[in-house]
Structure 1
């Protein structure tokens, strides 16, 4: 599998560090990390990204679902949710955005890498 440019959107520093470690260990590149929708939109517009890994609950008022809707409408980048949200309505709303995967925190390394492997560059 070719090396992918991956962007992480996660407001918990320990979780973003763990994701970064797993992704880099698999030979991919981290293009950036954001804790909020606003920062992610700014960075995603400015960089070539093959995949976004996003949490649902982010800093600020916008969520990872809002980010997914923006990505679908403007950027057309595949994305993976990783979240601890258990509310069925929120999960259903997230799944309507067409993620490659919806991973439950704490994310298992192999499950994450398998989801990343589904990206077509």
Structure 2
């Protein structure tokens, strides 16, 4: 199994902590956590990252879809979206950025593990 360096973008500290724990249990490393688009972009410039897990709704003007699109264009790093939003329009907008997966909260170990297999295979 490939050990991935994963960056989390999530504005809820509780959810971010849960994801960090889950990522660690799956044998990967969380190399950073940001609460907003702006902070994430700065941190991504400074880190060695294999993939990003981002929430759709973030604090600030730009959302997780903006974050995913920027990451894809400027870093070409795989992105997994995780959100409680199940609105078809928003999901379609997110899927246009070609993420590895769109996971509905709460994210389970099995769902995340399966999504990460897509990153390892890429």
TM-score (norm 2): 0.95
Cα drift, residue 86 of structure 1: 2.0
Match of 2:61 in 1: 61
Give unpaired runs (5+ residues) of structure 1: none
Give the aligned length: 121
C-alpha distance in 1, partners of 2:108/2:27? 17
Match of 1:21 in 2: 21
Runs of 4+ in 1 over 4 A off after TM superposition: none
1:39 and 2:39 correspond: yes
Q: Distance in 2 between matches of 1:102 and 1:41?
A: 20
Query: 3-state DSSP class of the match of 1:86?
Result: coil
- Aligned equivalent of 1:111: 111
Unaligned runs of 5+ in 2: none
Q: Which residue matches 1:88?
A: 88
Cα distance in structure 2, aligned partners of 1:87 and 1:30: 29
For 2:15 and 2:65, the matched residues in 1 are separated by 19
Q: Say what the alpha-carbon RMSD is for the aligned residues.
A: 1.0
Displacement, 1:113? 1.1
Name the structure 2 match of 1:2: 2
* TM-score of the superposed pair, with normalisation by structure 1: 0.96
CA distance in 2, matches of 1:72, 1:7: 14
